[in-house]
Structure 1
Amino acid sequence: MTKNLIDSQEGIPGMMEDTGANFPPFDSATYGSQILWLVITFGLLYYLMSKVALPRIANILEVRRDRIASDLGEAESLKKETDEAIASYEQSLAEARQKAHGIAQSARDTAKADIESKNAEIEADIAKQLVAAEEKISAVKAKAMGEVEEIAQSTTEAILEQIMGSGVAAKDVAVAVAAAKAN
């Protein structure tokens, strides 16, 4: 059957006929010319790459390297500025805290001194009032003690008059009150 198929294809135009020739890249008779054209093509490509494409790529890489280096330098300088700003801020904050602490301490000391002076004034005023009150009490007490005899005599006379129904001599009542006071 395959033989019939091969026989039937012989008459078809465009079908390969076995002429005994090999595929040109594998033909040993064309190796020399193929190698020559390979060397010429490789040389031209190498020349074009080394003179046109590679310098452009090298230039692009150089520009990128320079840009990266400048960006890193700028970032480093910005980092230094930031560190300096942070240090300055922390120092200012510490100074402000110290100042606030000093102001608070000063305010406490001033308030304490003011309170102590007011307390001293109040204590002095209270002492004056106490002395005045003691003087008044002594005066009232002395006056009351001076009137006690009189009150005792009049009270005794009134009681005796109620009990006895008649009056007693004031002289006798005064002597009895004096005797009771002495005991």
Structure 2
Amino acid sequence: MAVEPYQEELAGTCVDAGGSAIGMPQLCGDWVGNQVFWLIITLVVIYFILARVALPRIASVLAERQGTITNDIAAAEDLKSKAQDAEAAYDKALADARTEAHAIAQRARDDIKADLDVEKAHADAEISAKAAESQKAIDAIRASALENVEIVAKDTAAAIVAALGMSADEAKINAAVDRQLKG
């Protein structure tokens, strides 16, 4: 295949007689100007595509994300303040409940103490009444025992005098026993 003269002139030293490139065509010095021109055109087109289409979209996504982050932070701070308010309300309610529980317990203790005092007074009154009755019974038993001791002492003295073979009248025996009992 023959190379036309104008093709040979365009190819220069980078193409052999068969029309195929010698070595790497990118490194051919004859074609550098052409490659630089298309490089600049490509870069300008890429720049305009990025500047007009891609970067505004990326900027809007970043702005939207920043807005979302800012809103989320504000919402989190709002929720944090609400949580702190709720915690303060909980602490106050807990303190009020404890105070109320202490008051209820104190009222219960006071009621129990009052009931206990009433029952204690009632029990003391019953004990005093029974003690008075018991004292009366003891006094009656003591009086009865003293009378019985006196009767037994007189009978015993009369029996002793009779056992000794002596005789004494009852008035003398009673007078002697009375003297001994009185001390």
TM-score tier by shorter-chain length is 0.7 to 0.9
Residue in 2 that maps onto 1:180: 180
Residue in 1 that maps onto 2:93: 92
Alpha-carbon distance in 1 for matches of 2:69, 2:25? 52
Percent of residue pairs bearing the same amino acid type: 35
Alpha-carbon distance in 2 for matches of 1:63, 1:154? 130
Alpha-carbon distance in 1 for matches of 2:48, 2:160? 155
* CA drift at 1:22: 7.0
Alpha-carbon distance in 2 for matches of 1:98, 1:179? 77
Deviations 1:46-78 (A, max 9, x none): 111111211222222222222222222222222
Residue in 1 that maps onto 2:36: 35
Q: Which 5+ residue runs of structure 1 have no aligned equivalent?
A: 1-15
Amino acid at match of 2:141: V
| Map 1:78-157 → 2, pairs under 5 A | 78-157=79-158
Say how many residue pairs are matched. 167
Matched, 1:26 2:27: yes
Distance 1:173 1:37, change over 3 A: same
Question: TM-score, normalization: structure 1?
Answer: 0.74
Distance 1:172 1:62, change over 3 A: same
Distance 1:178 1:86, change over 3 A: closer
* CA drift at 1:182: 4.9
* CA drift at 1:128: 2.7
Alpha-carbon distance in 2 for matches of 1:73, 1:50? 33
RMSD: 3.0
| Map 1:43-82 → 2, pairs under 5 A | 43-82=44-83
Q: Which 5+ residue runs of structure 2 have no aligned equivalent?
A: 1-15
* CA drift at 1:41: 0.9
Residue in 2 that maps onto 1:169: 169
* CA drift at 1:40: 0.9
